Structure 1
């Protein structure tokens, strides 16, 4: 497996993403905004379509669209706080509608489909470089803003009174989340990214007794799910996104059984 260059690139990119995505997933789940990840991953398809049609890197298009969509969602949620879910649904519907139209004009149906469910053979050196740069940014932001993000997750108003720069931290988190989701589309697939955001967090919450333990366990589970999914994708010739999600679901069931046995 490792004798193939595309697999080495896919495993490296997958390893970095498997750490990045759970990092933002923990915060999203605690803020009860995990569906925003779903909206962004689907909206990213519009950027992919633009890139395929206009002849530039589809990931650049998906990153641009994701960032715009993420800040639009935040803007609508602030203007109409009582309709937070509506903002997410509106942006996702708009992005999917545009993506559906652009898919009819995108050259090569297989290319567009690979972004739906992920592909390990299409990862390039530039993808690895881009993911590595964003990984460093997220790692630094997560370490530096760990306590601030925790405070915001619990109560934004209390965090503001405690001296946390809520607006600035939310802006940075929103930007990095959008970029991460856009980059993950190529390997995990636009339809599967949300599963990797939510399922490792949901699994860790079954047994974790603190935010820190949930945070670390989520990252560990993300790595296991991603690596096993990519390896199964190679040997079984299946879509990596589907393999990763099935692993995550099975992992969650194992933890549920473990908790029941421990209680018994």
Structure 2
């Protein structure tokens, strides 16, 4: 399997996906913004189609359009304070409408289906370089803003009182989400990308550890999910994105059942 260049490329990108997605996802989940990740994942398809339309790298196109969409969500969040449920609908309509219009126009020379479902065959050397650059910038930004983002994740109002520049960091965070999504789109695909952002975090939360341990466990579960999904999809000849999502759900169920059995065992011992 590893004799094939496309599998080497896919595994290279998968490592960055496994680290970056839950690192971003934990802040989205704790702020109850996991649906924003799903909306931006769909927005990335518009960026991909625009990149393909203008013969540019689709990952760069996804990053640019998703960053703009994330900034738009943050702006609308302040504008529609009483109708926040409208925000995601507006951005989703804009992005999906753009993508469908471009795809149906017949002007694309490349089939965009691989970006919907994920494909290990389409990863190129230029994609790997873009992923490496975006990952390094994103990780450094996360490290630099870590404490402020933790403040905001648990209590945005208290963070403002403490002097954290919440609005500026929220805009930067939307760019980080865009980076994680654009990095993942080649392997995971648009339709199930949000699973890599949210499900490893959901699994780690079942362990009921502190924030740092939850983050580390999220990355661990993410690595397990994507490597098992990628390797199994190669042998089963199925799309890696969909199978990785199934693996993520199965791991979550196993951890939940294990917690249930352990708690029941403790109760029976006490009785």
Q: TM-score range by the shorter chain?
A: over 0.9
Residue in 2 aligned with 1:200? 200
Per the alignment, residue 57 of structure 1 pairs with 57
State the alpha-carbon separation in 1 of the partners of residues 226 and 85 from structure 2: 29
Deviation at 1:227, TM superposition (A): 1.0
State the distance in 1 between where 2:69 and 2:237 align.
33
The secondary structure found in structure 2 opposite 1:82 is coil
CA-to-partner distance for each residue in 1:16-65, whole Å, 9 max, x for gaps?
11100111100001111111111111111112222223322222222221
Partner residue in 1 for 2:221:
221
Alignment of 1:245-260 (within 5 A): 245-260=245-260
Relative to the length of structure 2, the TM-score reads: 0.93
Q: Which is greater in Rg?
A: 2
Task: Write the deviation string for residues 161-211 of structure 1: whole angstroms up to 9, x where unpaired.
Answer: 223222222222111211221221111101111111111111111112221
User: Cα distance, 1:240 vs. partner?
Assistant: 0.7
2:112 aligns to what SS in structure 1?
helix
Give the distance between the partners of 1:202 and 1:135, measured in 2 at CA: 23
Question: Residues 56-80 of structure 1, C-alpha deviation per residue, up to 9 Å, x if partnerless?
Answer: 2222222221111111111000111
What is the RMSD of the two structures over their aligned residues, measured on CA atoms? Answer: 1.4
1-structure distance, mates of 2:234, 2:255: 26
Q: Aligned residue for 1:147?
A: 147
Shift of 1:132: 1.3
The residue aligned with 1:97 is: 97
How far apart, CA to CA, are the structure 1 residues paired with 2:221 and 2:210? 16
Distance (whole Å) between structure 2 residues aligned to residue 137 and residue 98 of structure 1: 28
Tell me by how many angstroms 1:141 deviates: 2.0
Residue in structure 1 matched with residue 267 of structure 2 by the alignment: none
CA distance in 1 between partners of 2:109 and 2:257 (Å): 44
Shift of 1:81: 1.6
> Is 1:27 matched up with 2:27?
yes
- Distance in 2 separating the partners of 1:24 and 1:10: 21
5+ long unaligned stretches in structure 2: 265-271
- Say whether the 8 Å CA contact 2:189–2:241 is kept in structure 1: yes
Q: How does 1:1-264 map to 2 (within 5 A)?
A: 1-104=1-104, 105-107=106-108, 111-264=111-264
Provide the aligned length of Structure 1 versus Structure 2.
263
Unaligned runs of 5+ in 1: none
2:6 and 2:82 map into 1 onto residues whose CA distance is: 47
